Amino acid sequence: MTHPPTPATDPDSPRAGDPGPSVANLDTIVSLSKRRGFIFPSSEIYGGINAVWDYGPLGVELKNNVKRAWWRSMVQTRDEIVGLDAGILMAPQVWVASGHVGSFSDPLVECQTDHRRFRLDELPGTEDLTQTDLQDPDVVKRLGLVCPVDGGPLSAPRRFNLMFKTYMGPVEEDAALVYLRPETAQGIYVNFRNVRESSRKRIPFGIAQVGKAFRNEISPGNFVFRMREFEQMEMQYFVRPDTASQYFDEWLPRRRQWYVDYGVTSERLRLREHAPDELAHYAKKAVDVEYRFPFGWKELEGVHNRGDWDLGNHAKASGENLEYFDPVTEERYIPWVVETSAGADRAAFTFLIDAYREEEVRGETRVSLALHPDLAPYKVAVLPLLKKRPEIVELCQRIKDDLRRDVMAVYDDTASIGKLYRRQDEIGTPYCVTVDVDTLEDQAVTVRDRDTMEQVRVHVDQVRTFVLDLLARNRV
Ligand code: GAP
């Protein structure tokens, strides 16, 4: 079901009115994703593997477009930010120095009768607990918490480290232990000096990276919202310590706006600052950009002031000098970091949910995805009105081939034109080009807009430029 957003007075205030989700039931999106080839359960023929999802033919296009849009805004269009692609496996000392071995954990409780395990802060009755409460070893007894499945008694909470471990090389011993990275950020910190020296950047400057991260989440779920294997889009902005709050205040609204620019309903976004006892071990300050998912307001992206936590600890642990020398002021210091940390999967999921539309058209339900054209898997579909006429099919193929030199274009003739339009609407294709019998006479084709359903006739020689112009005009 689609719900029009209710305007809120201050959309960033947690007290603002709830606009409601764009889709009441998450199953609507899960089934569309499976049916149309966006997202499939991983290893499904073996019964699946919990919290891993595979992107199908349309999903991989959508997610690639999301990553490309992020890279465009964070690297391509900025003088002071450069990219990096570091390894997933890193020296294990990295994770000791970063604090992840010691502190990257969630509180876990176990049912004494059926041995099911739960994240303490996700048990019914813990919604209003502070982090201080969650660290209290007596919290289960104090609140009388029981197993939500069989009502059995629960153990006291213990910390469960979320990092996946594996072994490097042919011997499985402690000395060969390595971790799958739980965040991409550390690859940036350990390359800070290499990147700065090779790119000759002066502070403030940023390093951006997109890549896989892995977390052995205790309770993953809500489709691709919380997975055990996922992708992050992170940028670390290195600044003079006394300017960190100023850059934090610049990056936060800029990151919120990025989602709006690519079509997310502004009223379904809000900002939420972490309470002091909720901050991650590395953060001096953290504000989440939250989205109103069908299962509530949840984190979409985090903006963090990490101070000199990471570079300072890596300098100490490695014995390397990671200071920055300012040639103008002749000061030497460990830069502070303002981090913007987004999930590629969570972002793609959000764009998908927020774009979902259902409306009644001539007594039938029309489903469409109002995806921003930059994000849509296919930009244009070329469709024949009559597939029995070889001249029509041939012309369609020619137009499609012409367009796909620049953009993802597809030809389809496997149904009637009405059905073909509905199929393209449902996967978010912004434009359809139709070749009909009249085309053979007047050399004009119909270009149909997904959102307005308006149709215009365009000369066949101009259709490529016409469609590419429409796409270029909408580009963020
Ligand atoms: N480097 C900082 C960091 O990793 P985080 O808040 O733990 O911060 C950042 O993660 C973003 O990564 C989240 O806002 C979310 O979009 C994404 N993310 C984190 N855990 C995830 C998971 N289990 N599944 C999918 N996305 C996840």
Q: How far is residue 282 from each of residues 103, 278, 308, measured CA to CA in Å?
A: 10, 11, 9
Q: How far is residue 59 from each of residues 272, 286, 474, measured CA to CA in Å?
A: 29, 30, 21
> Once rounded to an integer, what is the mean pLDDT over residues 374-387?
97
Q: How many other β-carbons are positioned within 10 Å of the β-carbon of residue 16?
A: 15
Which of 461, 459, 456 is CA-nearest to residue 432? Answer: 456
Give residue 130's pLDDT: 86
Pocket residues: Cβ below 6 A from ligand 1? 183, 185, 215, 217, 226-227, 230, 232, 234, 299-302, 339, 341-343, 345-346
Is residue 9 scored above 70 in pLDDT? no
Which of 307, 394, 288 is CA-nearest to residue 346? Answer: 288
Q: How far is the CA of 108 from the centre of ligand 1 (A)?
A: 19
Q: Which of 162, 228, 230 best tests ligand 1's pocket when mutated (most atoms within 8 Å of CB)?
A: 230
Q: What angle do CA 223, 224, 226 make, to 5 degrees?
A: 95
Nearest-atom index, ligand 1, CA of 341 = 9
d(CA 67, CA 253): 19
Beta-carbon contacts of 285 under 8 Å, excluding residues fewer than 6 positions away, are 245, 248, 273, 274, 279, 304, 305
d(CA 281, CA 279): 6
Nearest-atom index, ligand 1, CA of 299 = 14
d(CA 191, CA 207): 9
Give residue 13's pLDDT: 55
- Per residue in 90-135, pLDDT (tens digit) is 999 999 999 999 999 999 999 999 999 999 998 988 888 888 888 8
Residue 469, judged by CB atoms within 10 A of its CB (0-12, 13-18, 19+), counts as exposed
- Per residue in 334-371, pLDDT (tens digit) is 999 999 999 999 999 999 999 999 999 989 999 999 99
Burial letters 197-220, b for 16+ CB under 10 A, else e:
eeeebebbbbbbbbbebbbbbbeb
Q: How far is the CA of 171 from the centre of ligand 1 (A)?
A: 32
Q: How far is the CA of 49 from the centre of ligand 1 (A)?
A: 20
Any idea of the CA torsion for 56, 61, 63, 66, to the nearest 10 degrees?
Answer: -170
Where do we find the tokens 């936060």?
252
Q: How far is the CA of 152 from the centre of ligand 1 (A)?
A: 32
127-141, 201-215, 248-262: which has the minimum mean pLDDT?
127-141
Where do we find the tokens 């244009």?
380
Residue having the nearest C-alpha atom to atom 21 of ligand 1: 226
* CB of 124 closer than 8 Å to CB of 148: yes
Nearest-atom index, ligand 1, CA of 227 = 24
* CB of 199 closer than 8 Å to CB of 152: no
Give residue 133's pLDDT: 85
- Per residue in 164-196, pLDDT (tens digit) is 999 999 999 988 999 999 999 999 999 999 999
Residue having the nearest C-alpha atom to atom 19 of ligand 1: 343
Q: How far is the CA of 246 from the centre of ligand 1 (A)?
A: 24
Residue 62 CA to its chain's centroid (Å): 11
Where do we find the tokens 């970091």?
337
Give residue 127's pLDDT: 84
- 3-state DSSP assignment of residue 437: helix
Q: How far is the CA of 234 from the centre of ligand 1 (A)?
A: 10
State the amino acid at position 316 in one-letter form. Answer: K
Burial letters 70-95, b for 16+ CB under 10 A, else e:
bbebbbeeeeebbbbebeeebebebb
d(CA 367, CA 299): 27
Nearest-atom index, ligand 1, CA of 282 = 2
45-54, 87-96, 131-140: which has the minimum mean pLDDT?
131-140
d(CA 247, CA 236): 11
> Once rounded to an integer, what is the mean pLDDT over residues 273-294?
96
> Once rounded to an integer, what is the mean pLDDT over residues 48-75?
98
Q: How far is the CA of 299 from the centre of ligand 1 (A)?
A: 8
Nearest-atom index, ligand 1, CA of 346 = 16
Q: How far is the CA of 223 from the centre of ligand 1 (A)?
A: 15
* CB of 163 closer than 8 Å to CB of 153: no
Q: How far is the CA of 341 from the centre of ligand 1 (A)?
A: 7
Where do we find the tokens 């020619």?
398
Give the model's confidence band at 14: pLDDT under 50 very low, under 70 low, under 90 confident, else very high.
low
465's tokens = 């430029």
Give residue 132's pLDDT: 84
Preceding omega of 204 cis (within 30 degrees of 0): yes
Helix (H) or strand (E) holding 166: strand 165-167
Nearest-atom index, ligand 1, CA of 184 = 1
Q: How far is the CA of 347 from the centre of ligand 1 (A)?
A: 11
Give the model's confidence band at 1: pLDDT under 50 very low, under 70 low, under 90 confident, else very high.
very low
Percentage of residues in the chain having pLDDT higher than 90: 91
Q: What is the DSSP string of 354-420?
A: HHEEEEEETTEEEEEE---TTT-S-SEEEEES-TT-HHHHHHHHHHHHHHTTTS-EEE--SS-HHHH
Residue having the nearest C-alpha atom to atom 8 of ligand 1: 341
Nearest-atom index, ligand 1, CA of 228 = 23
Nearest-atom index, ligand 1, CA of 183 = 4
Is residue 6 scored above 50 in pLDDT? no
> Once rounded to an integer, what is the mean pLDDT over residues 452-468?
98
Which of 270, 279, 322, 271 is CA-nearest to residue 304? Answer: 279
Give residue 165's pLDDT: 97
Residue having the nearest C-alpha atom to atom 16 of ligand 1: 343
